[in-house]
Amino acid sequence: MVRANDNAEKNNRETGKNTAESLSLTRQSNDATIRSVEATEQQYRTLASVLRAWLSLTRIDGWDFAQDKPGRRRVLVTFTNTGYSPALHIHAHGSMKLATDIEALAEDPETCADIHDPISTEAVGAGGTLKFEVLGLQLTTNDKAAMARGEVFVYIYGHVDYDDVFGMRRRSSYAAMYEIDGGHWSAAAKFNALT
C-alpha cells in the first residue's frame, strides 16, 4: 500500500511537471503567435500606406483678379492620385471666400457642402487626375480695393473624400490664397492635409 501511494505521488508529480511544461510550451506558442500576428498587421499597415491612393492638390486655374467680370466665374481645381492604387467613391467640393486671414476659414459657419454642389465620381486610378469646378466670387469695386491694399484676401478651400482599396475612408483638405501680384494661387499656411 505504501509502495502504491509512493507510485501515485510520483505519477502525480510527473503529471504535474508534464502539465506545467505543456502549459509553458502553450504559453510560448501563444506568445509567438501573437508576435507573428502583430508583425503581420504592421506589414499590412506598411503595405497599405505604400500602395494606397493619395489624392493631392496639383493645380488651381481660373479666376483672374485683374480680369474679373460681372457674373460668377468658376475655378478649376485639379487633384492627382500620386499613390499606387485607385481612389474610389470620390466626393469633392470647395468654395471661395473673401477673408481677412486664413483663420477666418476655420470660423466659417457654412461648410463647403452648404454653398457648393459637390461632384462625385467612381474612381481615379494611379497617376490619374480629378478635376472639378468651384464657384468663383463676384467682387465689388470696394472688395478689389481692399484686396489691393492687403486688407482682405481671396481663399479657395475644401476637401476631397475617397476610399482606398484597403477599405479606409480618406480625406485630402486644401486651401489656397490668390496672389494679386502674380495672378496665381499659392498654398495657404493651414488646412492643406493628406490623411
The pTM (predicted TM-score) of the whole model is 0.69
- The residue ranges of every structural domain in the chain are 1-51, 55-194
Sign of CA dihedral 105, 107, 109, 113: positive
Q: CA-CA-CA-CA torsion for 80, 165, 51, 129, nearest 10 degrees?
A: -10
C-alpha to C-alpha distance for 131 and 117, rounded to whole angstroms: 14
C-alpha to C-alpha distance for 94 and 118, rounded to whole angstroms: 8
Give pLDDT tens digits for 26-79: 777 777 777 766 765 665 555 656 799 999 999 998 776 655 555 557 788 999
Looking at CATH, the fold of the domain delimited by 55-194 is given as Immunoglobulin-like (2.60.40)
Give pLDDT tens digits for 166-192: 999 999 999 999 988 888 899 998 888
C-alpha to C-alpha distance for 106 and 25, rounded to whole angstroms: 57
